[in-house]
Amino acid sequence: MAPLADTGERHILKTEFFDCADYYGHLLHIASYQFALQYVTGKKVLDYGCGSGYGAQILSENAQSVTGVDVSNEAVSYAKENFTSNNLTFKNIDELADEKFDVIVSFQVIEHVRNDKTYLKKLKELLNPGGILLLTTPDKENRLFNYIQKPWNKYHLKEYSAKSIETLIKQFFIDFEILKISSIPELVLPEIKRRKKQRIITLPATLFFYPNFLRVFLLDFQVWLYQKVSAILKKKPIISSGEKPSFLKYSVEDIIISKDVEFSTDLMLILRHP
């Protein structure tokens, strides 16, 4: 089977990284699933939006059973081929019956859905009484200008601050926590700086009144233009061939998930079914 295309829409395990931002994203994804391990021991678990399947595999180490579902048949096929365990199953979301689960994780998904209320309602229906829903999503605070800007990630339809997502989840859950995902300063501060720079660069392509198709077109055009200019200027890669990137000294242990962090890149939500 051909490798799953690395479009940036979903995370794929790899050993080579383009830059520190790419590596930070990798650590963040792994750390989120490792954080979830404390909730899934002996539980029936659903990974809703499992992508390439690596996270469901992590959860299966502690869970009684894990079902990974995704809208992409390509992703589901890739997951089935690359991650196997006796207590692990992958299927398309459309194949998900009226099952109930003790724990549901849905990481980096809500920003992709067209109707976030329908999405949360569905996940709550899939939870057993007393069940736990874990969500992650980018923290809008350092990514976008409030009110005037749509997401510069072309796959994201909407992004949230801690305040705006709290207003949303209160419509469905009364028992919840909102944690922030960060890292040690020398790793997270360059990422915060990059995101702030990105929101400035992409602002002309992401104004709030643009329809989605125009936003995507303009973002793709910006990428194309950047690549053309880089080729003309023969811009050198950040990392030379054969050179070991200095950022590889960091690990998942350097990711922090806590209520009290000064700089956060993403949000972790812990929602409890009554």
Query: CA-CA distance, 78 to 25, in Å (whole number)?
Result: 21
**Chain segment 67-103, per-residue pLDDT in tens:** 999 999 999 999 999 999 999 999 999 999 889 999 9
Map out the domains of the chain as residue ranges.
Answer: 20-272
Residue 240, strand partner residues: none
169 half-sphere exposure, CB direction, 13 A CA radius: 26
Supply the mean pLDDT for the chain: 93
Q: Is the pLDDT of residue 1 over 50?
A: no
Residue 138, strand partner residues: 266
Radius of gyration of the chain (CA): 19
Please give the C-alpha separations between residue 241 and each of 15, 26, 87, in angstroms, as whole numbers: 15, 21, 41
Q: Is the pLDDT of residue 160 over 60?
A: yes
**Chain segment 182-217, per-residue pLDDT in tens:** 999 999 999 999 999 999 999 999 999 999 999 999
pTM for the model stands at: 0.92
**Chain segment 42-74, per-residue pLDDT in tens:** 999 999 999 999 999 999 999 999 999 999 999
Q: Residue 238 has what pLDDT?
A: 53
Topology of domain 20-272, per CATH? Rossmann fold (3.40.50)
pLDDT above 70 covers what percent of the chain?
95
